[in-house]
Amino acid sequence: MYFHGYRSYQKRRFKNKYGKYLMGMLVVTALVTFFVQRQELWSIGKKAAVKMAGTAVVDVLAPGLHYEEKENGNHFLAKVEKILFPIADYTVQIQSYETDAESTLSYEMILAMEALDENYVDEDGQVVMQNNGGTDSPQPADGTQNADNPQAADGAQSTDNSQAAANAQNPDTSQETSNSAEQTSLTVAPPIAATQKAVEYSLDKLNDFDYLVQNFYQVDSTTTVKSDQLNVAALTGKNMKIAHDASTPQILIYHTHSLEGYADSIPGDKSTTVVGVGDYLTELLTQQYGYNVIHDTGEYDTIRDKAYSKAAPALEQILADNPSIDVVIDLHRDGVGENTRLVTNVNGTDMAKVMFFNGLSRTTKLGDIAYLYNPYIADNLAFSFQMQLAAAEYYPGYTRKIYLKGYRFNMHYCPKTLLVEVGAQTNTVQEAKNAMVPLADILNKVLSE
């Protein structure tokens, strides 16, 4: 009896001892997990606090400018759960893409950065690009390349080798000159608009996201683009045709940077700046194609880093006064290294190369910029792509790749908004004006044919 009682006591003692050991191990495991992860948890908490503080400041200083969808109230706890149980969130991660904002800037700071961002300049407004080995693509002073090679011809040829014929008719003569002072204005007849395609692009190849980006786009390192944004079916499926006749205004042309000139521009003479180029485009669209065009020659860039914020109210007023406007074109001139010349040849006529430019309202550093919300990004992208595709097929070598960058560039007022860079400061005025003949023809093909 005594022996039996002793054995029962020993079993209970063993079980209690085993239970204590097991509980101790669980506690130690929990503590280790907590201390290993606490730095990341603290970082997440700190980011959330900074974001909330920045939002509060923007709401006070600029009420109504902050646009952001409300997050789930358990967002912080969800991140904690994701850290402790990372596998549970794996299927969500592989299906979605999100860029977390690293900081919050004021609306005015964002607009200033936007104004300086569009033409590769530093904080003093000086061009910071340098020559990039003989191509028409500038390179930042920090050595980071922005390759802008002419569109690749592989896969773009039709079965009858029309590419070879196109190259013979429209050779790409992008070139460099060692001294821009030696440039002279061209006095040649304007080129004749193309009547048939020189190249046929395969939809099968364009449906390949990598092929599409490599041949049609230059994505700046400061932003990101998603494959669903560059879906060819969506880009070509949007109807860009003008919905009404020319009895009321259809197209608005304006210049955020109206003071941008060319190598031989005459100081004080607007006709020799990008405004003069806009005058010629207006003339072509109205007299040759019959559109009703308003050309706004307002000056918005006397203070360059305020240009977009100054142009915005004027643009709003014009659109309010003319609700029939269906297309908005912001005509610019690019900035490149002084030894870079953006020149091509169409039907025997030298002209400046043209580049279409899109803002995605998203940067890698800030994520999606809520203050620069643009409901028409998909439409903007469709417009520029349809223009780029028509240019590539009818005028091979005429355009540079579509440049995708962060910020918004006032492209949120109208679905059919186009930002166009016509040559650079090293081109002549005549070269820039010559480039308007193909541009007007391409616009007509996309908007009416």
Count how many residues are written for the chain.
Answer: 449
pLDDT one-digit tens code per residue, 28-44: 776 765 555 555 444 44
| Predicted confidence band of residue 54 (pLDDT cuts 50, 70, 90) | low
Q: What pLDDT is recorded for position 384?
A: 98
Q: What pLDDT is recorded for position 284?
A: 97
DSSP E strands, 17-162: 129-130, 139-140
Q: What is the mean pLDDT of residues 390-414?
A: 96
Q: What is the mean pLDDT of residues 309-318?
A: 96
**143 neighbors 129 (Cβ within 8 angstroms):** no
Q: What pLDDT is recorded for position 38?
A: 53
Q: Is residue 60 scored above 60 in pLDDT?
A: no
Q: What pLDDT is recorded for position 279?
A: 98
| Predicted confidence band of residue 132 (pLDDT cuts 50, 70, 90) | very low
Q: What is the mean pLDDT of residues 334-363?
A: 94
H helix intervals, 172-330:
203-206, 209-216, 232-237, 274-283, 307-321
DSSP E strands, 99-224: 129-130, 139-140, 175-176, 217-219
Q: Is residue 63 scored above 50 in pLDDT?
A: no
User: Exposed, middle or buried: residue 14 (CB in 10 Å: 0-12, 13-18, 19+)?
Assistant: exposed
Q: What is the mean pLDDT of residues 170-198?
A: 52
User: Exposed, middle or buried: residue 20 (CB in 10 Å: 0-12, 13-18, 19+)?
Assistant: exposed
**177 neighbors 183 (Cβ within 8 angstroms):** yes
Q: What is the mean pLDDT of residues 341-361?
A: 95
pLDDT higher at 180 or 417: 417
Q: Is 29 helix (H, G, I), strand (E, B) or coil?
A: helix
Q: How many CA atoms lie within 13 A of 133 on its CB side?
A: 7
Alpha-carbon span 169 to 441, nearest angstrom:
17
Here the tokens at position 423 are 């040559």
Q: What pLDDT is recorded for position 255?
A: 98
| Predicted confidence band of residue 381 (pLDDT cuts 50, 70, 90) | very high
**129 neighbors 136 (Cβ within 8 angstroms):** no
* H or E element in which residue 333 lies: strand 327-334
Alpha-carbon span 318 to 311, nearest angstrom:
11
Q: What pLDDT is recorded for position 248?
A: 97
DSSP summary character for residue 38: H
Which of 170-184, 326-340, 376-390 is predicted least confidently?
Answer: 170-184
Q: What is the mean pLDDT of residues 342-349?
A: 94
| Predicted confidence band of residue 71 (pLDDT cuts 50, 70, 90) | very low
| Predicted confidence band of residue 423 (pLDDT cuts 50, 70, 90) | very high
Q: What pLDDT is recorded for position 250?
A: 98
pLDDT one-digit tens code per residue, 252-290: 999 999 999 999 999 999 999 999 999 999 999 999 999
What predicted TM-score, i.e. pTM, was given to this entire model?
Answer: 0.64
What is the widest separation between alpha-carbon atoms in the chain? Answer: 123
**Parallel/antiparallel/unpaired status of strands 354-359 and 362-363:** unpaired
Q: What pLDDT is recorded for position 314?
A: 97
Alpha-carbon span 390 to 334, nearest angstrom:
22
pLDDT higher at 184 or 256: 256
The pLDDT mean for the chain works out to 74
pLDDT one-digit tens code per residue, 81-105: 555 554 444 333 322 222 222 233 4
**423 neighbors 262 (Cβ within 8 angstroms):** yes
Here the tokens at position 322 are 């003319």
Here the tokens at position 414 are 């109208």
**356 neighbors 405 (Cβ within 8 angstroms):** no
Q: What pLDDT is recorded for position 27?
A: 76
* High-pLDDT (> 70) share of the chain, %: 59
What's CA 303's distance to the chain center, in Å? 23
Q: What pLDDT is recorded for position 359?
A: 95
Q: What pLDDT is recorded for position 128?
A: 43
**Parallel/antiparallel/unpaired status of strands 251-254 and 327-334:** parallel
Alpha-carbon span 433 to 136, nearest angstrom:
19
Q: Is residue 387 scored above 90 in pLDDT?
A: yes
* High-pLDDT (> 90) share of the chain, %: 51
Alpha-carbon span 319 to 192, nearest angstrom:
33
Q: What pLDDT is recorded for position 76?
A: 52
Q: Is residue 65 scored above 50 in pLDDT?
A: no
Q: What pLDDT is recorded for position 17?
A: 61
Q: What pLDDT is recorded for position 85?
A: 52
Q: What pLDDT is recorded for position 300?
A: 95
Supply angle C-alpha 152, 154, 155, rounded to 5.
115
**362 neighbors 406 (Cβ within 8 angstroms):** yes
Q: What pLDDT is recorded for position 11?
A: 54
Would you state the torsion angle of the CA atoms of residues 117, 387, 317, 280, taken in this order, to the nearest 10 degrees?
100
Q: Is residue 151 scored above 60 in pLDDT?
A: no
Here the tokens at position 249 are 């205004």
